[in-house]
Amino acid sequence: MKTLLVLLFVLCFQREALCDCQFPAELNGEWFSVENSIPLRLGISGSFWNEISGPKDSQASYMTCKDIFIHPPRPGQDGTQGNNMTVLMEYHNMKHMNEIDGTVNVCVDILWRSINVVQYRKEYIVTFEGQYVSMFNICPSVTNAYKGEFNLPTTLETTTMYRWMSFPMKCSEIFQPGVYQIDYEKHWMKEVCRNSPCLLTACPTRREDKLVLSYAASDDNTKVLTFDCLGSWNATVNGREYTYAALRSLDINGIEESYKCMMTNRNAKFPDGKERWVMSTDCNKLYNTVFASEKLTISKASPGMKCEK
């Protein structure tokens, strides 16, 4: 391990030929995130990471890849799906280009969650001419890489980025296939599912899983929201293991509102047999399964209601 890292280090030092920095193909495409409360559309391709915060935004900025480090896969992960990485980039801003006489470097740690979901942490570091710049001396997550130590961010330190046009996914591990009764609470008020039960249908198809939420709206009509599953994964928050899932519904107005990160604690069994999930646009707003502005409580499958074979 150590030798490999040293070797990589030496090879990349004579970078041009061997370490031409390109994002791995699985990151290419358009993405959406909310960074410091600012909704961003992002485009990643080749060595570019473009940020577009609005269609006509003159402050659009972009970053170019200078070096990339693929983290070794964790036990139990073969790395064929996708990898965590740390990327050293140079920051460019069309508007403020000449305001700093140094180089604005950005260390970006990327946690791979699924083909449709990644989480990143950015750190800006200004360096000046003549200074030796390598990710192994400026990026906090890899400065001890030569000792085999990596310091990747936790979920709460990251921004979640969702693919704009998601790939169909199977997320059967989120819910066992079936039809469930649910309670849905938003902003501390039961907006929907108040007068009559809501149903959540989790019936897999061959290629992808969709979740369908149906409820009686205030006008007595049945409303239906269909959610695409963007991925699911496990992660630790404050020492506890949680299961996460990311969903998107094109039936919800507002891009920000249409993306949902959900979290539950599978190990905390409730005596009523219900499963409690909390939801938010970004996973970094979910600290536990009690306090959240959006909550979903799932009861056992309704008797007599099953997925069609």
Ligand X SMILES: *[C@@H]1O[C@H](CO)[C@@H](O)[C@H](O)[C@H]1NC(C)=O
Q: Which residues lie near ligand X (CB under 6 A)?
A: 73-74, 77, 83-84, 111-112, 152, 173, 232-235, 243, 266
Helix (H) or strand (E) holding 162: strand 159-163
Shortest approach of ligand X to residue 144 CB, angstroms?
15
Question: 299 in helix, strand or coil?
Answer: strand
Shortest approach of ligand X to residue 266 CB, angstroms?
5
Shortest approach of ligand X to residue 59 CB, angstroms?
31
The single-letter code of the amino acid at 9 is F
Mind giving me the DSSP string for 195-259? SS-EEEEEEE-SS-EEEEEEEE-TTSPEEEEEEEEEEEEEEEETTEEEEEEEEE-TTSSSHHHHE
- Residue closer to ligand X (CB basis): 42 or 174: 174
| Structure token pair of residue 237 | 């928050």
End-to-end CA distance of the chain: 50
Shortest approach of ligand X to residue 259 CB, angstroms?
19
Shortest approach of ligand X to residue 232 CB, angstroms?
5
- Residue closer to ligand X (CB basis): 60 or 145: 145
- Residue closer to ligand X (CB basis): 17 or 25: 25
Distance CA 32, CA 305 (A): 36
Distance CA 156, CA 65 (A): 25
Asked if residues 295 and 185 have their Cβ atoms less than 8 Å apart, the reply is: yes
Show the CA angle centred on residue 308, arms to residues 307 and 309, nearest 5°.
Answer: 115
- Residue closer to ligand X (CB basis): 193 or 245: 245
- Please report, to the nearest 10 degrees, the dihedral formed by the alpha carbons of residues 175, 177, 182, 186 taken in order: 50
- Residue closer to ligand X (CB basis): 195 or 234: 234
- Residue closer to ligand X (CB basis): 104 or 246: 246
Show the CA angle centred on residue 94, arms to residues 90 and 97, nearest 5°.
Answer: 65
| Structure token pair of residue 84 | 């965590």
Asked if residues 59 and 34 have their Cβ atoms less than 8 Å apart, the reply is: no
Shortest approach of ligand X to residue 102 CB, angstroms?
31
- Residue closer to ligand X (CB basis): 69 or 233: 233
Shortest approach of ligand X to residue 302 CB, angstroms?
24
